[in-house]
Structure 1
């Protein structure tokens, strides 16, 4: 570029709308201002070049598109536009053509050459408008943030104050000038009279560090990707004696990395400053004082001088204390521009709604926890992509998520099958909606952020088509998948699905386990958490068990036996009481096994809600139908509240006490486990917590607490006992529970036979995972156990009508009627699942 000395005068009309730090460069005199390749300019020399370029731009106010590398031409043209009162439009080179076509700039800097297209502007430019910056990623015509003269000056002044930038500092550019964070580094150092070293070298390039050391770099700025590169090149071991501060913004750095770099800074004598900002706030809005980084690594700190934060309630913010971050300050943009006509607008934004979700810590620091736009909706569930990334990433495994409603696309560094299974099971998503692929190198924009559209394309391209021969399962895996889909009502089941992940519970566990044994010969003890693919693969090693040596899962056998005893006792065929109380313990056992999984808290709660609905819906439907057709029960029975508000005297209204007790217990436990501290307590002490609840329940059993409601509080201890039994992984734990069982059941009913039956049933649950069951009986056990709830509900209306004919007929009819109703309900559930899936498929098309 041509050097003019002395500098030409800039028209007075323009200087009145100039940005002060760009207009007053000469006041820093002969201090070093810019190092650009072999050129070294003082502030006086930089001011001369800026003034000369301002003259070339001409009078009036023009829209000046500036695009290029981190070089002298881009910097000087940008400063000239600000100093002469023009409007600068900074864009990456890849977007320059599309943006120029959309906004028709009056002057264009491209390839180092300045082209002034017209003597007068073709646009109506608002007097306060100084800078336009793109806000989106790699789209051809991005939405622009309209930034004012005050925005630029105020933000630069606030950052200088926050970071304590000195006139002796030297910043080596690690980020492009068309990225607002990189531009902010330049603005702040020029405001203070410090030096800027221009380079396009990456921090992964040895040439960068040669330059940094040779020029005595004191300031380093980076986005999260920058710090990944620093780790690769051994930054921790570098000797950088003049380094004074390292700043981080442009995305969330993991707390572990924050702590590590804070410690590196402490040892190396430099400050590590986490910052937070957006283009709409002219770069930066918050900073974390270096002294707080190690103690509060998950926060972004406090507002910069002159700014303030508030948290606004939004639907996506479901956790206590979380809201959308709203920022106010003199650096908040005028508003957005989406077309040239918008350049005439004045201020349309006063408070910036950032789209980020955050909470305020007790120390007053802002902690970003997610982003509103980083949500996708799948199968009716809102999935927080940032949360998924944070939960699944770890040592040796990087996870990045993108997608759209109905589709979750995940890029991983390793083990895609395991990640996919974990996502499906933890978040209860249909497996067909989750695509996971290994991506060796994440695509990034010029600002270092992940290019989301490019990432989505890479994941799709890296995922083999489902019908590819190499991935097509053999007949057995597909038969098993179809079996899961049919019995669980989940047509979206895939070969990577598990029983628990598909929402299976105790009602479907028995039938599926027996059907699997018929198909495989034997099933492993942990089959309910094993992917279908792995079950099929392991079938080759399964030993075929002869029919007389077959075994069935203990809870299934107990449920089948207990419901038969309940019906037979009521019908007078024989008397063996205690079956309902064994069922209470079995319910606690299955609650722990199927509902207290390793999934996150919200997923657990959804699973508990589904489990509760599978009890409540058929119960209310059946009792409601009986009440509508007869006068046998009352309204309290229909809403399952007889146990709370009904007569304390035993009447026919108490027929459904078992269902009511189970519902009450499940509701209370869901409410408790919805509390994060209780959820964490259960995960940390999976055996101790139910033991503590068992102790609490015994207070009701021994009437230390007022009974209050018959048949409810006194049996909670049995549910807690079953829960503890499921969590008892060591022999001494089972032995201790057996002792408690033997000491507490006797005397409860005053009926030795009944108490012995309860002790024997629960002890069997505690010590034996399976019991012998010849193959001809397995199908009957499966049906009776699966249909036990329906049998219990319906037998009150069936056996009284047949007991006078013969008690055995009454029992058989009761069991058959309940089993038939269960079969119809199961088929209806499966059909509903198919219809829901078909609806989702149509909506995607």
Structure 2
């Protein structure tokens, strides 16, 4: 079957060249003008051919995907969008619809796979785009959208947001999600620019790109605001930000109020919006000027749209019905449906709503969120509100026999189940309450209610011992298992990251080693990469040599070598001085990765917890050593020997490293607790630790003489490690986004990205030599800092990964225990003394982790019982 292209085009995709040399796409690597974008779109449209065909695009937030999307629209080829990171979605579409062409990102030019010449489908002339309904990426049910749907909704959004040619929108949501796509459409319509990225808002690199490209807006779903709280958005300096949009679910009114007030202080607006895929994207918006008097509402219809409320028998509120030019043509569930024209003229949203006297519409519930259990009609939204009133974050689902509730945190599930049964009039046996670390969510941030329902009949997951090692690189659950066990959490969702789950330098070693073994590689930014983005990647094919040598994080290697060098030198097995000072740089590197970001109080709590994990095992061991030997005094137990201990070197100084590390961490935490200092660190994340290193060096060169003890002699090494962590990722040798640019435009960004690392290297090279007057010690310190600065990972024999991981994770504990182990064994065998010291450290590490985990769970249970009201 051949159908010549004689259908209408989508104007914002077909008229790109009309915006001339205005910037269209901004990335970390370069700029693409509208004229250049139009040329690339035209080239691909020509490759798609003159016959109208069914196209499927594996879309990511990259230039290739954008070009492919616009080429299909401009040439009139009906397009199905699926997320590039969900292989199951593509497989489902291929099986259900048998498309003629598959498009994929290709690292500079879209890859076009023709499955046949011409087409085997009958395609309606108005059909332009098909999207999955929210969350159903594995379902063949698609929303059929027309050219008019896309164009009219882009025009409506551009009108009420007042999008201007000078605006620059950061792509914080997937292109395959209708909300994320609407941002692209509406900005291209007005000749505005897209700051194209797939970085998460929890990644510091996202905000660096946001500032560098002078972005003016970004889109958020309710879950995004939780992430913004973690990264300290309220204190960020974003001078270009003009407005923030929110959709994808109901935003808590208190959160909306706080962010609206923050915007008023900072000079930007918050637009709360309402929409569905079936309406292309947007149906309503709440004008910022009316938000204060109408909290919790969805506002008014978008330009060209209208609402009405139809009564629902037995309920006080009715169903919200929308009409407008952006209402879909209808659904598709099989190839034959692609020939259909419009089968619906209005959209029954399925939402229960009311019209306020102010003229604002308010959504109060969902028709599908009602279930009948033992003859009683249960509002699942009301269940969540009851628990919210008790201070419990929850998600409720249900069947015709059971109410299933997932609650975040460690609560008394029996008590909560009893409260719900009494409030709702249900038998206690019909209510199941399950504790989860985080409410399960879909990739778009919405609650995954089917996942909540599956909690009613959970299947036991295999233990790591039952899973073959070659399977560890497979399904996402294996990566979740690694994070859950390393961080001692019960559940890990796709949007979680190691940092957002509370990871720190003491837990990342075990996680990084297991993750590298599971995936076959270890991304430099794995600790801030969502689990859902780590899990699907396949193990890359490698040579036999590469299988023998695999990369291991430089920080892990240095911690493992450091503790071996320290103990080996003390036991006189060999002489390798300087590694203790290298570990101070490693500590600063890890501090920057795990202890910064978020609001001031949560950050202080996180830093206090991390300090506790150092102080508690140290004080406990030193107290035992004090009781068993005469080597130490009471001042050692409280880590104050540097203040009140003997001035001459003796066994009382054995734990100087721990004391100085604690002093540095306390000093830095106290410094960052000052709001003005915290703001300075966020605004100048790289310069701040360099200034701190400079302050530390004032005592090194005796420009400033401070009374002893003080942490300045090691503070500058800690700050250099901190600065190394803040340096941007090393540039790739060639651009992967396919943007054409001049040699100079390509060289300058690379030089800028190298400059911070060159600065750290020069700083170290100028200050380390001569510090101790011992060349071998100085060389070790300098080499350690340079490795940490330039090499994110080192090639290590694969068989040594687990051993090095254990040594690195237990390094603090081995440092503590070796003082009591090696002295008695070194005269007999230095090698035996080192091995026994390391073994003792591993044993104490394992015991401490178990005891601290038990204590933490006990404290949490006590606090929860006190905070939960009695029924």
Query: TM-score, normalization: structure 2?
Result: 0.50
Distance of aligned partners of 1:41 and 1:111 in 2 relative to their CA distance in 1, 3 Å threshold: closer
How far the C-alpha of 1:457 sits from its partner, in A, is 2.9
How far, CA to CA, are the matches of 1:82 and 1:225 in structure 2?
A: 31
Partner of 1:411: 406
1:332 maps to 2:360: no
- Distance in 1, matches of 2:265 and 2:457, equals 44
Given candidates 263, 278, 281, the residue that maps to 2:279 is: 281
| Alignment deviations for residues 68-127 of structure 1 (CA, whole Å, 9 cap, x no partner) | 321111111111000000111011232111111111111112353221222211110000
- Alpha-carbon distance in structure 1 between the residues aligned to 2:144 and 2:58: 17
Indicate the SS of the match to 1:120: coil
For residues 12 and 31 of structure 1, the distance between their equivalents in structure 2, rounded to whole angstroms, comes to 35
> Could you tell me which residue of structure 1 aligns to residue 94 of structure 2?
100
1:22 to 13, 36, 41: 13
Partner of 2:138: 140
The verdict on how the C-alpha distance between 1:210 and 1:396 changes in structure 2, with shifts beyond 3 A counting, is farther
Query: Match of 2:104?
Result: 110
Match of 2:433 in 1: 436
Question: Is contact 1:143–1:337 with CA below 8 Å preserved after alignment?
Answer: yes
Match of 2:58 in 1: 67
* Aligned pairs for 1:426-825 within 5 A: 426-458=423-455, 460-461=457-458
Q: Once the 2 structures are TM-superposed, how far is the Cα of residue 391 of structure 1 from its aligned partner?
A: 3.1
SS in structure 2 opposite 1:14?
coil
| Structure 1: distance between partners of 2:237 and 2:5 | 46
Q: Work out the CA distance in 2 between the residues paired with 1:459 and 1:210.
A: 44
Correspondence for 1:79: 70
* Conservation of the 8 A alpha-carbon contact between 2:4 and 2:52: no
Alignment of 1:67-466 (within 5 A): 67-93=58-84, 94=86, 95-110=89-104, 112=106, 113-138=111-136, 140-315=138-313, 318-319=315-316, 322-394=317-389, 397-414=392-409, 415=411, 416-458=413-455, 460-461=457-458
Deviates more, 1:129-138 or 1:48-57: 129-138
- State the match for 2:33 in structure 1: 42
Summarize the Cα distance change of 1:463–1:300 in structure 2 as closer, same or farther, 3 Å threshold.
farther
Q: Give the whole-Å Cα distance in 1 for the aligned partners of 2:268 and 2:214.
A: 14
Secondary structure of residue in 2 paired with 1:373? helix
Gaps of 5+ in 1: 1-10, 465-845
Structure 2 Cα separation of the partners of residues 72 and 197 of structure 1 = 11
Query: What is the count of residue pairs matched by the alignment?
Result: 451
Displacement of 1:418: 3.1
SS in 2 for 1:202: coil
SS of match in other structure, 1:346: coil
How many Å apart are 1:435 and its aligned residue?
Answer: 1.0
- In structure 1, how many angstroms separate the alpha carbons of the residues matched to 2:374 and 2:396? 17
2: CA distance between counterparts of 1:101 and 1:419?
45
Q: Give unmatched runs, 5+ long, in structure 2.
A: 462-871
Go from structure 1 to structure 2 and tell me whether the alpha carbon gap of 1:205 and 1:396 turns closer, same or farther (over 3 Å shift). farther
Bigger relative contact order (CA 8 A; separation at least 6):
2
Instruction: Evaluate the alpha carbon distance shift between residue 115 and residue 37 of structure 1 in structure 2; reply closer, same or farther with a 3 A threshold.
Output: farther
Deviations 1:36-67 (A, max 9, x none): 34131000000011111111111121111111
Q: CA deviation at 1:16?
A: 4.4
After the TM superposition, which of the residue ranges 373-382 and 385-394 deviates more from structure 2?
385-394
2: CA distance, partners of 1:394 / 1:24 = 52
The structure whose Rg is larger is 1
Moved more, 86-95 or 453-462: 453-462
2:346 & 2:287 partners in 1: Cα distance?
Answer: 24
SS in 2 for 1:389: helix
Give me the whole-angstrom Cα distance separating, in 1, the residues matched to 2:112 and 2:328: 27
What's the secondary structure of 1:393's corresponding residue?
A: helix
Call closer, same or farther: CA 1:116–1:274 in 2, change over 3 Å: same
Residues in 2 aligned to 1:212 and 1:236: alpha-carbon distance in whole angstroms: 15
State the alpha-carbon separation in 2 of the partners of residues 100 and 315 from structure 1.
Answer: 42
2:3, 2:52 within 8 Å by CA — same for their partners in 1?
A: no
CA contact (8 A) 1:25 1:44 kept: yes
Contact map agreement 2:28 2:209 (CA 8 A) in 1: no
Q: 3-state DSSP class of the match of 1:267? A: helix
1:290/1:370 CA distance change after superposition, 3 Å: same
Does the alignment pair 1:57 with 2:51? no
Residues 438, 462 of structure 1: 8 Å contact kept = no
Output the CA distance in 1 between the equivalents of 2:53 and 2:341. 17
Q: Distance in 2 between matches of 1:405 and 1:201?
A: 41
Q: Report the counterpart of residue 521 of structure 1 in structure 2.
A: none
- Once residues 67 and 320 of structure 2 are traced to their aligned partners in structure 1, the CA distance between those partners, rounded to angstroms, is 35
Q: Structure 1 pair 139/379, CA: closer, same or farther in 2 (3 Å)? A: farther
CA RMSD of aligned residues (A): 2.0
Tell me, yes or no, if the aligned pair for 1:92 and 1:446 is still in contact at 8 Å: no
* Aligned partners of 2:169 and 2:187 also within 8 Å: yes
Deviations 1:676-717 (A, max 9, x none): xxxxxxxxxxxxxxxxxxxxxxxxxxxxxxxxxxxxxxxxxx
Q: Give 1:462 deviation, angstroms.
A: 9.6
Q: What's the secondary structure of 1:66's corresponding residue? A: strand
C-alpha deviation, 1:226, in angstroms: 0.8
Residues 749-791 of structure 1 show CA distances to partners (whole Å, capped at 9, x for unaligned) of xxxxxxxxxxxxxxxxxxxxxxxxxxxxxxxxxxxxxxxxxxx
- Quote the Cα distance in structure 1 between the aligned partners of 2:202 and 2:62: 19
Q: What is the deviation of 1:463?
A: 11
Instruction: Measure how far apart 1:331 and its partner are.
Output: 0.4
Distance in 1 (CA, whole Å) between partners of 2:459 and 2:203 is: 29
Give 1:413 deviation, angstroms: 1.4
Given that 2:395 and 2:449 are in contact with CA atoms closer than 8 Å, whether structure 1 keeps it comes out as no
Q: SS of the residue aligned with 2:342? A: coil
Partner of 1:536: none
Cα distance change on mapping 1:199 and 1:15 into 2, 3 Å: farther
1:235 and 1:141 map into 2 onto residues whose CA distance is 36
How far does the alpha carbon of each residue in 1:645-678 deviate from its partner, in whole angstroms, 9 at most, with x for none?
xxxxxxxxxxxxxxxxxxxxxxxxxxxxxxxxxx
**In 1, distance between residues paired with 2:192 and 2:113?**
30
Question: Does the 8 Å CA contact 1:439/1:458 hold for their aligned counterparts?
Answer: no
